[in-house]
Each structure stands twice: as C-alpha cells, then as structure tokens.
Chains A and B, each alone.
Chain A
Amino acid sequence: MSDRAPAIATHSPELEHHFSSLEQQLEASVMGMWVFLITEIMFFGGMFCGYMVYRYQYYSAWVAGSQKMDFRWGTLNTIVLLCSSLTMALAVRSAQLGRRKAIVIFLLITILFGLGFLGIKGIEYHGHWAEHQFPGLNWAWPEANSHLVALFFSFYWAMTGFHALHMVIGVGLVSWIAYQAWKGRYHSAYYTPVEVVGLYWHFVDIIWIYLYPLLYLISHKHISG
C-alpha cells in the first residue's frame, strides 16, 4: 500500500478535469474539430453542388462568366495559400517540439501569407466591381444571357466571399494563438489550440484548392458554345 503512487497525481494546469490525460484531451479536441469541419464541408458543399448543377444547365453562361476571371491572380493566390499551409504545418511541428520562438515566427509568416491572399483577392474584387460584375448592386453585362451570367457571378461572389470570410477568421485565430505562443502557453505536451487552428487553416486551403479550378481553370480560354 505504501509503495503505490497517490491516487490523485498533480497534473498540468492545461488538463481539463473531465479528461484523464493531455493526450486524450488532444485526441478529443482533434475529433471535435473534424466534426466541425464536416459541417463546414456540407456548408461549402451546398454551394459547390449548386455551382455544378447550374454549370451543367447554363453551360455557355458559365463559360462566358469564367472568361472574366484572371487565372494568373487565381494561380498566384493558390501558391500563396499553399505556402501558408506549409508554414502552418511547420508551426504545429514546432509546437510539438516545444520550440516557442519557432512557433511564433511560423505563425507570423502564416498571417502574412493570409493577408497577402486577402490583398490579392481584394485587387480582383475591385476589378470585378469596376467592370460592373456584381449582380444586384452594380451589374451591367453587354453580351447575351445577362441574367444567367449574373447567376454565375452570384456564385462567384458567394463562394469566394465566404472563403475570404473564413480567411479573415483564420487570420484572427492564428494571431490569437501566436500571442498565446509568444507568452509561452504551449509546450510539447500541450499545444492543442495550435493543432486545432492548424486544422482549420488547412481546411480553408482545401476549399480554395477546389475553388481555383472550378472558377478559374475549367472554362479557361474555351470557345463559348
């Protein structure tokens, strides 16, 4: 009896009382985050589904609208986001290794890439607005099928807009964990927030991985039929 360890061991302050270990806590958080990401997949999935159905039904209007996308901006933004995912993955890795300074640096680079993405998206948005390609508020289409191309642009603004909103939220979340990391809140046994925000960031990257070909590439330079 006297050799046994006390039943209630002192544990790290990060451990919530309803978990038996930090490892279990991390696994539960990761699974919870994935459940949330599944709801996000269904949210964006509905828009992707509508986009596919209308592209099938109003193909020529979709091609005409896609011609107004500058695929160079889209490609550049894809590369910017992929770079941000790399630095995010390296930030999580630094957290696993308990390297405080490296976490902060990688997170700050991730924020810069995120802001770069939003800046480039802003340039594109400004161009579309200047060309009266915002259905409802600022719409003028000199060619045929004005109302059908307006439908394409409605999807364009909604899908990229919700994606950009997720980016803004992502930049906010990364800024918050960067601050927490700078204060030394995370170490190799406890880095759950870094891991979970990382999952969110990569998810937003994946949404763009599909938006990029659907909006910019699949009707690129095709003859409007």
Chain B
Amino acid sequence: MSRHIASAKLYVGVWLALICLTAATAAVSGVELGPFNVVVALVIATSKMLLVALFFMGVKYLSQRMTVVVIVAGLFWLFILLALSMTDYVSRAWA
C-alpha cells in the first residue's frame, strides 16, 4: 500500500496540542472579553477541528484529490447554511 503511515510520535504530538487547546479555551472562557469570548472559543474549536481532520482523519495525506474536493465542497455548503442564515436574521431588526 502506498498510503502514508504517520508516526506514532506525530499522533501523540497532535493529541498534546489538542489537550493544550482545550485547557486554553476553558481558561479563557472565565475571562470577560465581551463579544470576543465567542470569537476566541470558535477560533480555538476550529483549530482543534483542523488538527483532528488533517492528522487523525488523514486529510493531509489523502492521495485521492477528488475526496479533497468532496470535503471542501461540503464545508462550503455548511458555510452557505450558517452565513446566509445569519445575515438574514441579523439584518431583519424591524421584524
């Protein structure tokens, strides 16, 4: 099989980074940052998602380009769902 086999050390390193990010987001949540509490929490969550997807799920090592297209298209669809819904509700203050 020509599939890339990542080292166990890499997986443990990714896991350590995930645990550190979890500790960071838990710690920051106790600090009053106004609207930035949500921003920081979601940026950290997205970093964790990327670590899991790229390394644990092996997106970084995918040999089949078409699968990458499927994933990116799916995330773009999710973006349409969330972004267009929110712009609609946020801009309807008169309703």
Q: Which residues of A contact B (CB under 8 A)?
A: 22-23, 26-27, 30-31, 34-35, 37-38, 41-42, 45-46, 48-49, 52-53, 56-57, 71, 75, 78-79, 82-83, 85-86, 88-90, 93, 96-97, 188-189, 198-199, 202-203, 205-206, 209-210, 212-214, 216-218, 220-222
Contact = CB atoms under 8 A, between A and B. Distances in A.
A96 B11 CA distance: 14
* B-side interface mostly: helix
How extensive is the interface on chain B, given as a class?
A: 35 or more
A22 B18 CA distance: 33
Interface string B31-60: 010000110011011001100110111000
Contacts of B12: 86
Given A45-B81, A90-B8, A206-B49, A218 B38 contact: yes
Contacts, number: 135
Contacts of A202: 52-53, 56-57
A89 B64 contact: no
A203 B90 CA distance: 30
Given A75-B26, A202-B53, A220-B37, 15 more contacts: A27-B64, A31-B66, A34-B71, A34-B74, A37-B74, A42-B77, A42-B81, A46-B81, A52-B82, A53-B86, A56-B90, A79-B19, A209-B49, A217-B26, A218-B29
B64 A97 contact: no
17 contacts: A26-B3, A30-B67, A31-B66, A35-B70, A38-B71, A42-B74, A45-B82, A52-B86, A53-B85, A56-B86, A97-B5, A202-B56, A205-B56, A209-B52, A212-B45, A217-B29, A218-B37
Interface in B1-33: 1-3, 5-6, 8, 11-12, 14-15, 18-19, 22, 25-26, 29-30, 32
